[in-house]
Every structure is written in C-alpha cells, then in structure tokens.
Amino acid sequence: MPEWAIKLHPQFLSDLDKLGAKELQIFYDKKNKIKENPLRLKHLSGGANCYREPITDNIRLIYYVEGNTIWFLTIGVHRKAFQIYIKRLYSLKQRFTN
C-alpha cells in the first residue's frame, strides 16, 4: 500500500478559517481516513483524479490525487466548493507544468 502525502492548495487554509469548531473536528477526523485510502470516495466529473468528501450535509471537502500526493483543493459550502475546485485544480496543474 502506498504512503500518501497530504499537501494543501495555497488558499485552502483560508477555507478552513471559515469553518466552525464542529466542522473542523469532522475535517480532521476525515483527513486521517482519506490518508488511509483516498480513492475510496466518489470521483468528481470535470477533474481527473478529483474526489469529494462530505463534512456535513452542506460542507464538502474536495481533493485531487497526483501520484502519491493528496492535494486538498477546497472545503466549504457545497455549491461554492464545486465552483472553486476547478479553478484551484487548474492553478495547481499550471504549477506542475511550469
């Protein structure tokens, strides 16, 4: 089984700042589960190797898997998170190719 590394999109920490204590605790619990097996969840359309993890009924964590690295792209309100993740995924891929 591969050893997974977690990295954060540069704007991800500002997303975490917007969450309450309850949502942050759920996030940290789920972060460990994702690190054990990031490919276990529903794949997102629009981005190869992108997955979502529900935090609450309306909060989603969206991440991208590249090799043995898990990139946390965004976490936030369901609809907004899905709008933001494509932009952040594109900016990461730009960094990989430059």
Residue 34, phi then psi, degrees to nearest 5: -65, -40
Per-residue model confidence (pLDDT) at position 82: 86
How far, in Å, CA of 69 to CA of 71, rounded?
Answer: 6
Q: Which domains does the chain have, with CATH numbers?
A: 5-97 (3.30.2310.20)
Which residues of the chain, if any, have pLDDT below 70?
A: 1, 41, 97-98
| pLDDT tens by residue, 8-25 | 999 999 999 999 999 999
70 to 20, 22, 37, 57: CA distances (angstroms): 23, 23, 10, 23
Both tokens of 23, joined, read 């949502």
Per-residue model confidence (pLDDT) at position 29: 94
Per-residue model confidence (pLDDT) at position 56: 94
This prediction's pTM: 0.89
Per-residue model confidence (pLDDT) at position 83: 87
User: CA torsion, points 50, 95, 24, 36, in degrees to nearest 10?
Assistant: 50
Q: Is 96 helix (H, G, I), strand (E, B) or coil?
A: helix
